[in-house]
Amino acid sequence: MFEKCCDKCSHSPDSPCPDLIACIQDGPLCHTDERCNDFIHQRVERLKRKNIETPVIFVGTATCGLGAGAEKTITEIEKWLSESKTSADIVRVGCLGICALEPLVDVQLPKKSRISFYSVTAEKVRDILPAVFDGKPPVEHVLGQYPQEDTEAWKNIPLIGDHPFFKHQKRWVLENCGIINPEDIDEYIVWGGYSSLSRVLKNMTPLEVADVVEDSGLRGRGGAGFPAGKKWKFAQQAEGDQRYMICNADEGDPGAFMDRAVIEGDPHRLVEGIIIAAYAIHADHAYIYIRAEYPLAIRRLEKAIDQAHELGLLGRNILDSGFSLDIKLKKGAGAFVCGEETALIASIEGKRGMPRPRPPFPAVSGLYGKPTIINNVETLANVPGIIKNGADWFSSVGTERSKGTKVFALSGNVVRTGLVEVPMGITLRQIVFDIGGGIEGGLAFKAAQIGGPSGGCIPVEHLDTEIDYESLKEIGAIVGSGGLVVMDENTCMVDVAKFFMDFIQKESCGKCIPCREGTRLMLEILTSLTKRRSHETMEETFTRFQGVIQLKRLAEVIQDASLCALGQTAPNPVLSTMRWFKDEYEAHVYERYCPAGACTELLNYYIDSEKCKGCGLCAKNCPSDAIMGAPKSPHYIVPDKCIGCGTCVETCKFDAIVISRQDVPTEGVANA
């Protein structure tokens, strides 16, 4: 924590100094003293790890890194250091973004550039570290090296910025993630942190802050895309002696983890953004609503808030500006609907998280009936950069109506999964193929689900669409929170729609009938499309056709009549897949056939008589007694009794079970 250069420095939370941040970064400012100047300069050099004397080993310990075994890697590193009597500092950092190659370990030796290694499991530690310390880093494990002033670059090692995963990105929000120690406020400050807050409190009025954010074109990154500065001005104009600022960190989308990564890798950026936003709307109380399923993010956030309090950046009279703010954490129970503003507010108030009709909007009447602004993590994490560099800097990137960058959580059937921060206007093809490395296993791209469970699927013919709020809406998708799931040719789009509808139906709070009953009915219709015909009664067949005919109409009614955004966007996955993959729906409805072969109940199973040895193992394990045959003779499957579970495939030792997407052939098999 902050060290005073001498007794002349009087800063404390009780006697705040308005020049604290500038003094830490480039002080002293209140007096002239060569010794103090050297003290602060050396401290900054040490925190920035320039001219280090002891080697430093950085290990990615965000949730993704820990899941890949980073804790075991650290234990093995400590063992090796002890056994080899080597001195080195170990620093835990956040996620660099390329989650597919975790655990990531960086090494910085004295006078040498920091070099990054990927997939450093505990077993690989002794292959990599001794070689690096001997000056011969194993190139097969190298991700790249960082360009650093006053250090010697490693020969024949590429810069990390030239790696295909990073080359096309523009890392503004994620610039510190994976680089600095997220649990050290001093590191954040010496790299420029809290300077925007200092500038705001010293030189800008709340209206001027809102003007800059509005001029930058920053839109809400939580999904709706409403202009952030405009939203703040609504709260400024609302009547009330008390205002609240809320950060929505309730990240509930399947496949989305960008907010968690920002908090785990750079929590002070979020804290700084919240303080600036609260100042802009005249709020002296702020909440961070975060789901309890994020224990590491909560721990680092709590530590960041405590450190900010100790340094006088939270609490009373921050930096002697007269502005005061407290931030409280509210842990949510993980209900998806609490991502909706009014449901989130109800949850903080201690009520069941259910939405209410709007207006009045929260900016007019929100938490406890007071004007309240809710922004998500990524939106607020953008604010320090906008204040520091100006509105023109931010708006110079992006499309005409969508400015800046957007963080996407890239997952699914893509080679390099992880977090990518790209400029608005980049194409989906660039994200999937240039950054993500294309489709796994050399398969063909089929679609990308973007925007979470309320988003839509983008087909191959729109791979070159420039991604922004408007263009995605035109093709039936949304930016949403930034979840981006890539699917290959073996993916069934009816099955995908069913998966997201199942999620939405379970997460509906049940308050309004269109959402509660409508999503349930849509799920039933989609499920009926993937069921085997032989198990269907005449009445069920009639009901299925009736449902299919009404599916689109039902989706439109849910969109129009639902109370909140959850219900209003719930049919998006179904509508977008019906729009772009009509052939697949027709194959399921009319031919009872799944072109992708993903709907197991629509597959046909038979036994190859030439391979079957008559061991009977398949018949013994078949749960529906659908397999017949005499011992040591080829067996056969009774189609009407087969439920398509695939147990026979798993148990057969002779690969005699054949799966067919079409009808069972009539020649060459025992059950023909």
The pLDDT tens digits of the residues spanning 569-615 come to 889 989 999 999 999 998 888 888 888 888 888 888 889 888 999 99
**What are the structure tokens assigned to 357, written together?**
């009709």
Q: How far is CA 258 from CA 251, 314, 365, 557, in A?
A: 8, 25, 29, 32
Question: How confident is the model at residue 214, as a pLDDT?
Answer: 97
Contact by Cβ (8 Å): 157, 142: yes
218, pLDDT greater than 70: yes
Percent of the chain with pLDDT over 70: 98
User: Which amino acid does the sequence have at 255?
Assistant: G
Per-residue pLDDT tens over the stretch 308-363? 999 999 999 999 999 999 999 999 988 889 989 999 999 999 999 999 988 999 99
Is the model's pLDDT at 670 over the cut of 70? no
In whole angstroms, give the CA distance from residue 448 to residue 429.
10
pLDDT at 159: 96
Average pLDDT in the 423-429 region?
96
Residue 664: the pLDDT is 59
Task: Point out the least confidently predicted range of 212-221, 307-316, 543-552, 586-595.
Answer: 543-552
Spatial neighbors of 670 by CB under 8 A, at least 6 apart, are 606, 607, 609, 612, 629, 634, 635, 636
Instruction: Give the confidence band of 646 by pLDDT, cuts at 50, 70, 90.
Output: confident
Whole-number Å distance between alpha carbons of 295 and 409: 20
Q: Which of these, 557, 272, 515, 516, lies nearest to 387 by C-alpha position?
A: 272
DSSP 362-397: TTTS-GGGS-EEEEEHHHHHHHHHHHHH-HHHHHTS
Helix (H) or strand (E) holding 458: strand 456-459
**Cα–Cα distance for residue pair 250/245, rounded to 1 Å:** 15
569 HSE (CA, 13 A, CB side): 22
pLDDT at 663: 61
Q: Residue 289 contacts by C-beta under 8 Å, 6 or more apart in sequence?
A: 246, 247, 248, 249, 250, 330, 332, 338, 344, 347, 348
Pairing relationship of beta strands 326-332 and 285-291 according to DSSP bridges:
parallel
pLDDT at 371 over 60: yes
| SS percent in the chain: helix, strand, coil, step 5 | 45, 15, 40
Name beta bridge partners: 457.
Answer: 449
* pLDDT category of residue 534 using cuts at 50, 70 and 90: low
Residue 561 confidence (pLDDT): 93
pLDDT above 50: residue 530:
yes
Q: How far is CA 645 from CA 532, 625, 635, 648, in A?
A: 11, 12, 18, 8
Distance, in Å, from the CA atom of 48 to the CA atom of 51, rounded to the nearest integer, reads: 9
pTM confidence score: 0.91
Average pLDDT estimate for 204-232: 94
How sure is the predictor about 101, in pLDDT bands with cuts at 50, 70 and 90?
A: very high
Q: Quick one: which H or E segment has residue 407?
A: strand 405-412
CB atoms within 10 A of CB 239: 8
* 104 within 8 A of 116, measured Cβ to Cβ: yes
Query: Look-up: residue for tokens 């100094």?
Result: 17
- Run of H or E including 345: helix 341-348
- Could you give the percent of the chain with pLDDT greater than 90? 76
57-77 pLDDT, tens digit per residue, is 999 999 999 999 999 999 999
